[in-house]
Amino acid sequence: MTHTEPSEESFHVSLFKNGEPRAFTYFFNLYWEELYTVAYRHLRDEDLAKDLVQEVFIHLWEKRSLVNSAYISLRPYFFRTLKNKLLNYYASERVRKTVVEQMLHRMETTVSPENSSATVYQKLEEIVELSVAKLPGLMKTVYQMRSDNHSIQEIAAQLNIAEQTVKNYLSEAKKILKKELTQRFADHDTLLLLVVSTYAIHDLLI
């Protein structure tokens, strides 16, 4: 993971907005590895993860005029775009069919048409976000920053707390969320429970 001083990145934000190719290269080198890691964690497919990250960079480059030049970092833009790309991928017809077929095979029962993978994933994400909102003050802040792909070191520095304290908060947050989510999932349909038991909860809980 590459870290830079805010002034260096903010300088390139302006260049990026103005369409300077060297700024594109700068941000590609800065964030590609992190974005790819997140994409691969969700997709478990190297080529697909690479393609999706490439789409993120192309999308932001094409929409660069919308970038706020006052920002000192483009990190939020990149990871928000990646999140949207992942949701769009889950919503695709090819994935919907694959996921439903796999679940039909494993469950040996009928799944209603409205239970597409995108619907399930979005429902799951909504439940996770509601649970995160209930975390106590600083613990919630630490968890949300980590969800936005800030490193342990960055979180500790920005919040002026020890790195071990950050790790402790994250560990405790996961315990609280897993307990909370297990209870919440008990009220939802079988398809959602199967997704939770396989991969989605692992991806959504950092």
For residues 100 and 115, the answer to whether their CB atoms sit within 8 Å is: yes
| HEC assignment per residue over 142-181 | HHHHHHCCCCHHHHHHHHCCCHHHHHHHHHHHHHHHHHHH
Residue 99 has pLDDT above 60, yes or no: no
Mean pLDDT estimate for the chain: 75
Residue 201 has pLDDT above 50, yes or no: no
The larger pLDDT score, comparing residue 106 to residue 68, is at 68
In angstroms, what is the C-alpha Rg of the chain?
19
Q: How many CB atoms lie within 10 A of CB 73?
A: 16
DSSP state of 20: -
Instruction: Please provide residue 52's backbone torsions phi and psi, each rounded to the nearest 5 degrees.
Output: -65, -40
pLDDT digits 0-9 by tens, 18-61: 899 999 999 999 999 999 999 998 888 898 899 999 999 999 99
CA triplet 73, 200, 44: central angle to 5 degrees? 75
Q: How confident is the model at residue 104 (pLDDT cuts 50, 70, 90)?
A: very low
How far is residue 115's CA from residue 191's CA, in Å, rounded to a whole number?
8
DSSP state of 181: H
Residues 6+ apart with CB under 8 A from 156: 162, 163, 165, 166
- For residue 174, give the 3-state DSSP assignment: helix
Across 9-18, 54-63, 99-108, 138-147, least confident range: 99-108
Across 26-30, 74-78, 174-178, least confident range: 174-178
How far is residue 42's CA from residue 200's CA, in Å, rounded to a whole number?
8
For residues 184 and 131, the answer to whether their CB atoms sit within 8 Å is: yes
Residue 202 has pLDDT above 50, yes or no: no
Residue 103 has pLDDT above 80, yes or no: no
Across 62-76, 83-97, 140-154, least confident range: 83-97
Element (H, E) at 21: helix 21-43
**Tokens, residue 135:** 């975390």
**Tokens, residue 185:** 């999932």
The model's pTM is 0.46
The larger pLDDT score, comparing residue 172 to residue 118, is at 172
Question: What does the pLDDT average to over 157-184?
Answer: 82
